[in-house]
Structure 1
Amino acid sequence: MRKDLTFKAPAGTFVGYEDEGTIQIKGIRYADSVRYDRPALYHYGSGNHLMMANAPFGIQAHSVAEYDLQGTRYEDFPQVENDQYLSITRPLNQQIDEKLPVMVWFHGGSYRNGGADGPSYDRKLLVKENGVIVVGVNYRLGILGFSRDREGNYANNGLLDAITSLKWLQENIAAFGGDPDNVTIFGQSAGADMVRGIILASGTANLYHRAIMQSDPIGSMKNREKLDAQVLELINQYPIDAPTSELLKIQLEIQDNITEKGLDKFLIFAPHYGVYPLPNENEIPTRLKEVAADHKLLIGATTREAAIVLGTSEKLAGLHEKRLTKRITERFIKKMSHAIFIDPSLEFAQQYAQAGGTVYHYAFSWLDDQKTLGAMHIADLAPLFGLGQAEGLPVAMGYTQAQVVEAGRPMRQIWTTFAAKGIIKQFKINQMLTIEQL
């Protein structure tokens, strides 16, 4: 067995495989838990453990947006109740003692879809171009991650999973050649909100050093009291020991019975302020004063976030194609983009800067004036990770994998340089990205 593919860590000895200039170590369990309970760090037994299969996904239903835009069918992936797994991608020809910067990716999906090893998140580009280690983390989703605890009270178990993954990495990433003193957490959409949750949570300051938040739907995290109460009331009507095979049905029934009409409805399941380990919402400025100065932040959104609906709604897409109604749909896109993503993210960035943090704020505008789906929500993923299986699908907007990879090269350089050194050297990519320090 090749020594360069075997990694002896405190949590166990793991064997990966070579993959296009990288080494993949996939599907490592970092934690385990009883249903609705807090996670505990997981340790493997003696012997070598082959880590060559994708990390199992959490229990989840079909996503219309992911399928229509990217061709992803989550129901086709292996799913488990306790999906507390992570996958590590490191450069092939760099020594273990080099202490590479570590980037930890939290996937999006409205806190009810997604997985670290999904086809939209190919970590290899970031790794082999820029000499970093990238880790993808799975966490409990939906009712298992963000509804209740064992006693029927509010719980943030999915957030606690993410925090536990960082504790696991602090103990183990050095065995894979990573530097535990140079960890950047980053994520998109709900994954960005997970990053924000980690920033705000108690006891996390020493688990990471920098953060990147892409398209956080912070506008859907406000005024959630009625929605959260409705979810808790509904979930507590079901038995705590319902068969695993029934959990998805239960979750879908809850989703179908939600009556809230505000922006919070776009995140039916989400972390709860004032529930361990999060502060109350009005305590966020105080928490930021405790952590901002020691953790640099890169945060932003796309310029047409809500244009994603044009890829999933034939009715809206049809209106957008007509000259007389295109103005109406563009006004809707602008209004929703600013209400959910752009304005709240800028507000959080300003709060962070006022608390003493170094903040870089960006706007991602790739193809926003050329394509119907230009600069939509998720459009920033392809420059970082490539198209995956989505070449020829709407998210590609007519571009090939090779074209997207080349166009995204400067963005990957910016992201990884920030992760490695905490600096921004390039503040603009023509027709794609602008960055300013607040």
Structure 2
Amino acid sequence: MAAVGEWWRTVETERGLVCGVPGPAGDGAETATAGAPPVVAFRGLPYAASPVGGLRFAPPRPHEGWSGVKDAARPGPAVPQSPSRLERVMGPRTPDWNEDGCLNLNVWSPAEEPGAALPVLLWLHGGGFSSGSGGWDWYDGARLAALAGIVVVTANYRLGALGYLHLPEAGADNLGLRDQAAALRWVHANIAAFGGDPARITVGGQSAGAYAALALAVAPRTRGLVRRVVAQSGPWGLPPQDPADAAETAADFLGLLGVPGKVTGPGREDELLAELRGLPVERLLDAYDRLAADRALPGRVAPPMYPVRGGYGLPVAPQEAAAGGALGSARLLIGTVRDEMTAFLAFDERVRAFTRDDVLRVMREAAAGEFRTGGTDEAARTYDDLARLRPDAPPAALLTEAATGWMFRDGATRIAEHRAAQGTPAYVYRFDRGPDGGDGTLGATHCADLPFLFGTFDAYPDSPMLGRPGPEADRLARAFGGALGAFVATGSPNGPGLAEWRPYSCGPAPEVMYFG
């Protein structure tokens, strides 16, 4: 790390020199970081070679490097993707993807003296394994880095068919997870040059990113690099895709591309890959969109392609591995928002028209493992219990409440219970703040905590899930971001100016921290 005047900006990585820029920037930065040290941002750093040409549908390869000093002032391109299905909740994004150069990451580090060794957070974005980018201003890490005195890293990884098409015989095997593992290894190898401590890496994320963070922390090949885990709104009710189902999905996808019959079959993997690598990426995105539309069912949140059980990095479900003790001594902070499933169901007219029988059908099909136990109809019992608690709620609202439990909250609770039983208690939270001025439709919906972790309110103009943040939002951001940042720094979300937060226990009154 080289000091340049008041700011250090030029850093030497394994593949070449990079030049960062001072931060934070943007409206409201002073509020979240008053009195904190300035931050230097390094954006768009390649952690692997571009997955183009012969590297499309291949495991990530090391980047070839560059000569001179690489300008790291701006984010790199996102991974190719279609618009998110949560745009009506979070707000739209202008497409900024490019397959060439998409495997990049971003680093924000407080401008400390050379030789500093700060705790590190590698944070993985959500998006249903189908959308998102670590370079978007939603996830700008400058304020969090300054608030907590940590190094923040966000990373892209391949999505949709590019990341999760299941063709293991051709080497396409949980490529998105492989990318995340490559990003973690890059951080471990290079973060000291940015003032970070490679022995104190927390892997965190939200939604699909939380699922991936826990997977990295329990997988045999990567768990030794992870000190702590932050898991926000992980879809724990979504089991890994069954290999047979993933193979069927891959066949349907190839059919939409017009590939089967020409080059599929044993011993023809190279021909198949050549065919797929020769197609414009737009055709792959279009086929994935059609596949998603064909498989869409009211109340169903699973994307067509996502991590496959038994594939790279996923011998079993990450929550199952954690229950078996694979987290070891790694500390865990885990939580949900109060009304997770409104993001997926509130605007679906088909769901709004549901009857009790419709809801029971969805519960039995989408969460059979939760509601078919002991030979009884647990779905009907759960529905009727909710109806007694909320007698004026329509069936759609009861489905939303039940699905929030089986997809998100119940799994987080079970993971925390296992950690407590293993002697390394987790810290558990629930985020309850809904949009100011809203009509109550969304409540504290999926992703509602993100602006408060990063303090990036200005990046969400007219976002329905955020509403109109006032002074109380700044205070909540300092409390939420401060607690999660303290956990990254020390293994405890407690610290000066923060509310006391005790670890989760399995007793009659388990500890849960409520925000907002």
Q: TM-score range by the shorter chain?
A: 0.7 to 0.9
1:46 to 67, 72, 79: 67
Mapping of residues 355-434 of structure 1, within 5 Å: 355-367=422-434, 371-385=440-454, 386-400=456-470, 403-425=472-494
Q: 1:147 to 1:428 in 2, by over 3 A?
A: farther
Local SS of the residue matching 2:179: helix
Q: Distance in 1 between matches of 2:331 and 2:486?
A: 13
Separation in 1, partners of 2:459, 2:435 = 23
- Report what 1:177 is aligned to: 195
Distance 1:251 1:168, change over 3 A: same
Change (3 A) 1:45 1:285: same
Aligned to 1:126: 144
Q: Distance in 1 between matches of 2:445 and 2:308?
A: 27
**5+ long unaligned stretches in structure 2:** 25-37, 260-274, 355-389, 506-516
Counterpart-to-counterpart distance in 2, 1:350 and 1:81: 43
| Pairing of 1:13-412 with structure 2 (within 5 A) | 13-20=17-24, 21-32=38-49, 33=51, 34-66=55-87, 68-74=88-94, 76-80=95-99, 83-92=102-111, 94-149=112-167, 151-152=169-170, 155-221=173-239, 224=242, 227-237=245-255, 238=259, 239-241=275-277, 242-258=279-295, 263=300, 265-281=301-317, 285=320, 289=324, 291-309=326-344, 312-313=347-348, 326-367=393-434, 371-385=440-454, 386-400=456-470, 403-412=472-481
Is the CA contact (8 Å cut-off) linking 2:78 and 2:102 kept in structure 1?
A: yes
Local SS of the residue matching 2:138:
coil
CA RMSD between the two structures: 3.2
> For 1:259 and 1:227, how far apart are their aligned partners in 2?
16
State the 4+ residue runs in structure 1 displaced beyond 6 angstroms: 259-262, 314-319, 426-430
Relative to structure 1, the CA distance from residue 259 to residue 63 in structure 2 (aligned partners, 3 Å threshold; closer, same or farther) is closer
The amino acid across from 1:336 in the alignment is A
Return the alpha-carbon distance in structure 1 between the equivalents of residues 188 and 170 of structure 2.
32
Residue 208 of structure 1 aligns to which amino acid in structure 2? Answer: V
Aligned-pair distance for 1:436?
A: 4.1
The answer to whether the 8 Å contact 1:185/1:211 transfers is: yes
Change (3 A) 1:119 1:311: farther
8 Å Cα contact 1:58-1:80 kept in structure 2? yes
Q: Give the aligned residue type for 1:17.
A: V
Aligned letter for 1:89?
W
SS in 2 for 1:101: strand
Question: Is 248-257 or 294-303 further displaced after alignment?
Answer: 248-257
Compared CA separation, residues 278 and 355, structure 1 to 2 (3 A): farther
Contact preservation (8 Å) 1:31, 1:164: yes
Q: 1:204 to 1:276 in 2, by over 3 A?
A: same
Q: Provide the C-alpha distance between the structure 1 equivalents of 2:58 and 2:430, rounded to a whole number of angstroms.
A: 38
CA apart distance, 1:311: 5.7
| Residue 284 of structure 1, CA deviation | 6.5
Q: Distance in 2 between matches of 1:215 and 1:240?
A: 34
Q: 1:429 to 1:422 in 2, by over 3 A?
A: closer
- CA deviations on 1:192-211 (whole Å, 9 max, x unpaired) are 11112212322112222000
Give the conservation status (yes or no) of the 8 Å contact 1:22–1:89. yes
- 1:314-334: CA deviation from partner (whole Å, max 9, x where unpaired): 677899xxx996443431221
The CA distance in 2 between the partners of 1:314 and 1:253, in whole Å, is: 20
Structure with the bigger percentage of strand: 1
- Distance (Å, rounded) in 2 between the aligned partners of 1:317 and 1:120: 30
**Residues 242-299 of structure 1: per-residue CA shift (max 9 Å, x gap):** 2223221122232233377885x52322111111222134x96566555423210111
TM-score, normalised with respect to structure 1 = 0.87
Q: Number of paired residues?
A: 427
Paired letter, 1:234: D
1:387-418 residue CA offsets vs partner (Å, 9 max, x unmatched): 23324431223324x54233210111110111
Q: Distance in 2 between matches of 1:216 and 1:172?
A: 28
CA distance 1:413–1:60, change in 2 (3 Å): same
What letter is aligned with 1:252?
A: D
Give the partner amino acid of 1:253: R
Distance 1:160 1:82 in 2: 16
**2 CA distance for matches of 1:215 and 1:435?**
20
Q: Counterpart of 1:346 in 2: which secondary structure? A: helix
Closer/same/farther in 2, CA of residues 367 and 253 from structure 1, 3 Å limit:
closer
Task: Letter of the 1:40 partner, please give it.
Answer: R
TM-score, normalised with respect to structure 2: 0.75
